[in-house]
Structure formats: structure tokens, C-alpha cells
Amino acid sequence: MIRLAFTFAFLAITHLPAAELVLPKVIYAVPGVPVSIVFRNAALIEPESSISFSCECKIGEVIDNERWTLTATDNQVGDHLLKLKSNGTEESTTIRVVPKSAGSGRKIELLIVGDSLTNASKYPNEISRLFSRKDNPELKMLGTHQPKSAAENVFHEGYGGWTWNRFNTRWEPKEPQVGKLGSSPFLVLKDGEPSLDVHKYIEQNCDGRKPDFATFLLGINDCFHADPDNPEAITAKIDAMISEAETLLAAFRKASPETEIGICLTPAANDRDGAFYANYKDRYTRWGWRRIQFELVKRQLDHFGNREAENIFVVPTSVGIDPIAGYPHNNGVHPNEAGYNEIGAEIFGWLKWRLAEKAQ
């Protein structure tokens, strides 16, 4: 069993403030592919506050008293309980190690939908790379968008600044700008009016083949501009986002009910105040977005969790990214290659779990 050096007696003596902890119910791991939980990503910690963590798990290791990390082996396949404790509060998750051969011999289609994090194409590239390794299914990535940064076989529907609402409503009848889609790929004209039609999208852009999986990494642009000092304003933004998400998900469910949909939790952002100042000056701050993002993840877990019967799943992309090493020094919400690769590995782990379940 692995445990940090902190003890509960120490916590009781120092009277450190309690921290709210939020973890996804399951973290997916594949042998040979590193996965992490950065403790600060799971806690809402005020700037300059002191906080201690204690972590218990029979597999993996704790690094620098800041993260739990695991590069699983074949003999660790199965479920393992992880407990994270901080200043008198506790949260647990299941570490689910999936066979690395899950889905081997199959051919699968994946559609990735998102905003600028997807448009950068780094995490889709990593997903493609991981699937190209031995003992994996043959992966075909669907989509109409292939930026210059995308690898040869990587396609997706990811556009900078986009929201759930834009995918539902954005229609630009003029010629789109180079490198940026003017209209939502899921809209078509019906009786002269744009209409959401995922069935037509699949028919026209996927050779009529319904995706086996679709992932959605959205939420930053939907909620970023909320007033972080106004809880009601944050709630209103998240409510509006969820309503738009349900509209698009319903269209996917109608067009392709067999498609398994992964809702990616909004990743923790850069932990440097200076990175936010470099992008936004004093308009938006790290602590402001952190409070919004933390509440957003809680709502995503609550709203999209336990919906497997609808083929809707939560993908645990909120806690693994390193908020320092996973970001450049001058960008608040866009990771560097290491950070994007962490997101790609987390999505890969979820996909491999679903492939393993389908084989049973």
C-alpha cells in the first residue's frame, strides 16, 4: 500500500482548512501507458493556502507528494481502489486496468468533437498513435476537419472558440474562412432553414458508417466568461451548456443509438497566474477560472454520470494533466504536447475499456 508521509495527527494539530475533493468514479489505465492523478486537480484550493494530501492505493506510486501515477503491467489488470484524503475530507475512485489487447482484430470508427483543444489535433494524434501499436484494433477517425497539425490519418470536428451551442446553431451561408469552418458540420438546410441533422452528417461525411464511438471535449468556451464571484451566474452558464449538450446528444442518439458517447471532463488549467495574465491581462484570472472549472466538472459528473444505459459515459480527463509541466508558461487553458498526450491517453484508456466490455 502506498501512502504519503502526512498523517492525520499532523493534520489535526495544524488545523489546515478542509478542501473539497472531486474525483471521477473510474480512472482507466492500459498496461504500458502512464496515467496520473494530480492531487491539486481534485481539490478546490484557494491561492496561497496550505493543504496536505494522503493517498492510498495498492498499485502505482506517489511522486513528490503531489501526484499518484501508474504505468500498469499485465498482471495488474482489474479494479483497484484509490483513496485520496485531504485535511479531513476523503474521496475515492476505482483504478480500472484494462487488457492491452482489448479490441484486437476489430475495425472501429471514432468521431472526436471539440473546441480549440481538439483543433490543435495533439490529443487526437496521440489517440491515433496509441491505437497504431501492436494488439490494438484498426482505428478509422471520422470527421471533415484535418488541420495542418493533424497526423496523416487524423480527422475530427474541432474548432477554436466553439461551444455546444455553436455545433447546434452555427450557420454561415458565405464561403468559410480558410482553416476555420463557418457552419456547424451537423447542420443542413431544410426548407431554406438550417436544421440539426446528424443522420445526414453520417450519410455524407462518414460513408454512411455510424461511428462506434464519439467523444465530446467542450465546456471551456461555454462557461469561461461567467462571473466567478457570482455562484448564480456560474450555475446559469452551466445550465445553458447542459441544455445545449442535451440537444446535440439527442440528435446523435436519434441518428445512431448504438454509438457510445464519451463526455470528456473539462481539464484542469495552467496553475500559473502569469499564464492567464499573458492571455487575458486582468479580465480573467487563474483562480476565477479554477472556481468555474471545478463547479463545471462537478456538474458534468452529476449530469452525465450513471447514463450507461443511454450509451453515454464520462471520460476522466479532469485530473491527470500536470497543471505546470503540462502547460506552456504563457497559455492558461491550452496544454503543451505533454499535456495533450495525457488527455489522449485518458481517452484511449476509456475506449479500451469499452472495447474490453464489448468482447465479453
Higher pLDDT, 5 or 115: 115
Specify the pLDDT at position 230.
Answer: 98
- For the chain, list the strands marked E by DSSP: 26-29, 35-38, 54-57, 61-63, 67-70, 78-86, 89-97, 107-114, 138-142, 157-158, 187-190, 193-196, 213-217, 260-264, 312-315
State the Cα–Cα distance between residues 345 and 92, nearest whole angstrom: 21
Residues 141-181 pLDDT 10s? 999 999 999 999 999 999 999 999 999 999 987 765 555 66
Specify the pLDDT at position 358.
Answer: 83
Lowest mean pLDDT among 48-52, 53-57, 184-188, 338-342: 48-52
| Residue 305 scores a pLDDT above 70 | yes
| Residue 354 scores a pLDDT above 80 | yes
State the Cα–Cα distance between residues 218 and 296, nearest whole angstrom: 11
| Residue 317 scores a pLDDT above 70 | yes
Q: Which fold would CATH assign to domain 107-358?
A: Rossmann fold (3.40.50)
DSSP string over 158-174: E-TT--HHHHHH----S
- Are the CB atoms for 202 and 256 separated by under 8 Å? yes
Q: Which three cell numbers stand for residue 96?
A: 480500472
User: 88: pLDDT confidence band, cut at 50, 70 and 90?
Assistant: confident
| Residue 85 scores a pLDDT above 90 | yes
DSSP string over 179-198: TS-SS-TTEEEETTEEEE-H
Specify the pLDDT at position 337.
Answer: 97
pLDDT (average), residues 287-311: 97
Specify the pLDDT at position 208.
Answer: 82
pLDDT (average), residues 31-59: 91
User: 237: pLDDT confidence band, cut at 50, 70 and 90?
Assistant: very high
Q: How far is CA 38 from the centre of its chain?
A: 14
Q: Which three cell numbers stand for residue 272?
A: 500559473
Sign of torsion over alpha carbons 223, 251, 189, 154: positive
The helix-helix angle for 286-304 and 231-255 (nearest 10°) equals 40
| Backbone phi, psi, residue 190, to 5° | -130, 120
What is 8-97's CATH number? 2.60.40.10
pTM, rounded to two decimals: 0.93
- Are the CB atoms for 339 and 270 separated by under 8 Å? no
Domain boundaries, the chain: 8-97, 107-358
| Residue 17 scores a pLDDT above 70 | no
